Amino acid sequence: MHIATDAGVIALSGRLAGRGLAVFFAESATLQALRGRLADYNARALEIQATADAASRDFTQEEAAELDDIFAQIELTTADIERRERIEANNTAISAPRGRRTDASDPADPDPSLAREPVRAAARPTADQGARRAPASPRGSDYGRHGFNNMGDFARCVMSASRPGGAVDPRLLIDAPSTFGSEGVGADGGFAVPPEFRTTIMEKVMGEMSLLARTDLIDVTGNSMTIPKDETTPWQSTGGIQAYWEGEGQQLTQSKPQLEEATIRLNKLTALVPVTTELLEDAASLASYVNRKAPEKIEFKINLAIIEGTGVGQPLGIVNSPALVSVSEEASQAAATVNHQNIVKMWARLYGPARQNAVWLINQDVEPQLNSLGFPAGATTVQFPVYIPPGGLSVAPYATLMGRPVIPTQACSTLGTEGDIILCDLKAYLAAQKVGGMRAETSIHLWFDYDITAFRFILRVAGQPWWSQPITPLNGSNTLSHFVALNTRS
């Protein structure tokens, strides 16, 4: 009777667990969808609030009505989520494995003669039983190691698999599609380091410093911005507002502003990264890696556009702007070189008030040229330093050239071509971005039937130099600008 009763309990539990398993997967999928819907509602509410805040106004009637509807939907969705979470909790409790009874004095046992012995802890196998080794278990001592004994065992297998024709240990591979980030392809994440050994993904390079943060950055609520600007100089004697010396009792001379319009339209920069759910679950650091790496890629694209953007579908860059001043190379100057006269002439062409905020943007290949620079001291061989390396006399994280920071960036051109070294005041570069900055979103709905999560990053940005052309000084013939580059040396 006792055995039959146990079998009945096991059969009933099996039926509940089998049925509950299907319900669990359906409920989990629906819960993910509901949580995603909840995030969408919240994102829309934040967008409405940001639009109103940017305009420093109250919500319109339409916005208030939409917010009320959003709040109602959030309440309904939250309640639905709570119900399904309770169903999932009940299902988990029913499906949980039940321990075996071992107490021989169990009063509910109708046949004590059939009672099982109590479990003896730490019992050693007898000689006739043999010392049989217990099979590996996911919950055993190697849990979290994916079957590897230690880090050396794992490294040896990876090294062997990396060699041409080398054998691939089955513990390294998990079947998965190879057309997107998955565990089935080593380069896509298949050779995932077991979490007990390493959870951080090492990157080849770190992100570069953002040039956008140094510009004259404005948040906009629409898709474009038109700004009035005055390109007249204080010493200009005609056009725009003027000042005159007047005698006592004389009629004052009139003048009026001379304004122009600068219109910039936002361009969209995106990154879309699909990743399988298995890889997200098994490589714990992957989500944080994607959320860090994609913005770094977007940030570099913006740096590149600020320096060499075409202005078509992207910001207008410094070297393609009509406001750029290009300094010619010296007579008989060797190709792909930078000498002290180049630096002196570039400094002289930078508009004076811009010097206090100016920086040098360089390709890293320019640094060896700068390290040998110096002002010749007459006929002697003594030279006064022009370039101060970082941590030297400057005691700063950046090197200095003519007292201004030198910032290496991969966005600059190769040594010897225009754009390899740029002297600029980036506050004279007008940049605009959509209110809220970069949108970082995650969705399971795009490829729901593939069980793939999509990471999406979007930034709408525009930019161009404030000035449309260099200015002519009051006295002198050389034009001046906030942006100065050295011409190609070939």
What residue ranges do the domains of the chain occupy?
325-433+466-486
Q: Where are the alpha helices (DSSP H) in 96-211?
A: 151-162
pLDDT value, residue 175: 46
pLDDT value, residue 84: 83
CA-based nearest residue to 288, from 298, 273, 303? 273
Which regions of 178-254 does DSSP assign to beta strands (E)?
Answer: 216-220, 224-229
Evaluate if pTM is beyond 0.75. no
Which pLDDT tens digit goes with each residue over 255-301? 988 888 888 899 999 999 999 988 888 776 788 888 888 888 999 99
Which pLDDT tens digit goes with each residue over 92-116? 777 665 555 544 444 444 444 444 4
| Pairwise CA distance, residues 400 & 420, whole Å | 16
| Pairwise CA distance, residues 148 & 166, whole Å | 18
pLDDT value, residue 329: 94
* Tokens 């593939």 found at: 450
Joined tokens for residue 219:
């948040």
Q: Where are the alpha helices (DSSP H) in 117-257?
A: 151-162
pLDDT value, residue 354: 95
Residue 328: CB atoms within 10 Å: 12
pLDDT value, residue 302: 94
| Pairwise CA distance, residues 278 & 176, whole Å | 9
SS3 content of the chain, % helix, strand, coil (to 5): 35, 20, 45
pLDDT value, residue 375: 65
CB of 142 closer than 8 Å to CB of 154 = no
* Tokens 């101060």 found at: 388
pLDDT value, residue 111: 47
pLDDT value, residue 327: 96
Distance of CA 208 to the CA centre of its chain: 11
| Pairwise CA distance, residues 10 & 4, whole Å | 10
CB of 358 closer than 8 Å to CB of 425 = yes
pLDDT value, residue 6: 39
Joined tokens for residue 392:
């030297």
CB of 387 closer than 8 Å to CB of 370 = yes
Low-confidence ranges of the chain (pLDDT < 50): 1-29, 102-141, 143, 174-179, 193-200, 204-205, 381-382
Q: Is the dihedral of CA 276, 279, 280, 285 positive or negative?
A: negative
CB of 307 closer than 8 Å to CB of 215 = no
Q: Please name the amino acid found at residue 166.
A: G
pLDDT value, residue 77: 87
CB of 360 closer than 8 Å to CB of 423 = yes
pLDDT value, residue 194: 47
pLDDT value, residue 131: 39
Classified as helix, coil or strand, 480 is strand
| Pairwise CA distance, residues 193 & 199, whole Å | 7
**Number of separate helices (H) and strands (E) present in the chain:** 7, 16
Euclidean distance between the first and final Cα of the chain, in Å? 99
CB of 477 closer than 8 Å to CB of 317 = no
CA-based nearest residue to 54, from 213, 265, 222? 222
Q: Please name the amino acid found at residue 304.
A: L
CA-based nearest residue to 217, from 302, 321, 156? 302
Q: Please name the amino acid found at residue 85.
A: E
Q: Which residues contact 225 (CB under 8 A, 6 or more apart)?
A: 218, 263, 264, 432, 462
pLDDT value, residue 271: 92
Query: HSE on the CB side for 113, CA within 13 Å?
Result: 1
